[in-house]
Amino acid sequence: MIFAAILAGGIGTRMGLDKPKQFEIVGDKPILAHSIEKYLKVDEIDKIIVSSPKDYIKATEKLVKDYFDKNERIVVIEGGETRNDTILNSIRYVKTNYDDKDPILITHDAPRIFVSPELIKKSIVNVKDHDAASPVIPAIDVIFESKEKGKLTDIPLRKNLVHSQTPQSFKINKFIEIYKDLSAEEISKLDEAMMLFFLRDGDIKLFEGETTNFKITRKIDLKIAEAHLKEK
């Protein structure tokens, strides 16, 4: 079975909003609704798991009801304190409610509202023969490494650098196998699923992402998103 976890557990502090940014209206609907809509267009996905901050679960459930009329493919769960905790909660939901021998989980940043159904399908195709898969786009800018605040410590070659995107996908059983082998220090470093597989030399497939698949992170991104929607 194939599951999608839309990660909407943040509370929007970086944008200075008075509510989690997934509830911010862009165009004619909330950010979260845009992303859910894209995943509903992918028939290969059996269940869409939407995470929510604990204090906003009822609001998230209402959003789903208002925009998708209690679609049975969608379920709302409580997110965790960190991104990794939220992914773990999604995995627990799958393992508790479904008895599938080799389930796949697709993780997606809710603020990436311009993801195409075609890219989601590419993520599914690419993970089937690998442990995990992630879309990437080439780095355009030169990137400095600074291990000490205010000090340049390295300049990696730009040709070797790529920006990761979601939807990232992985085989749930392999994730659990590796997670059980990690030390507490390694677990503390996990800020996305691909890091877990990287720490144990997992077979990660990188495939071409989409430049339009940007993440709404800053207030200026809201204006860019509005402009992009008007162009469509």
d(CA 50, CA 62): 12
Task: Tell me the residue range of the domain where 38 lies.
Answer: 2-231
167 preceded by cis ω (within 30°)?
A: yes
pLDDT (tens digit, 0 to 9) for every residue of the chain, 232 residues total? 999 999 986 666 666 677 889 999 999 999 999 999 999 999 999 999 999 999 999 999 999 999 999 799 999 999 998 999 999 999 999 999 999 999 999 999 999 999 999 999 999 999 999 999 999 999 999 999 999 999 999 999 999 999 999 999 999 999 999 999 999 999 988 888 999 999 999 999 999 999 999 999 988 999 999 999 988 7
Say what the pLDDT of residue 13 is: 61
Closest C-alpha to 139, from 111, 164, 158, 120: 158
d(CA 222, CA 216): 6
- Number of folded domains in the chain? 1
CATH number of the domain to which 152 belongs: 3.90.550.10
* DSSP-assigned letter for residue 78: E
Q: What is the dihedral of CA 157, 159, 164, 167, to 10 degrees?
A: -160
Take residue 75 and report the two structure tokens written for it: 């379920």
Say what the pLDDT of residue 16 is: 67
Give 49's strand partners.
5, 75
Say what the pLDDT of residue 10 is: 66
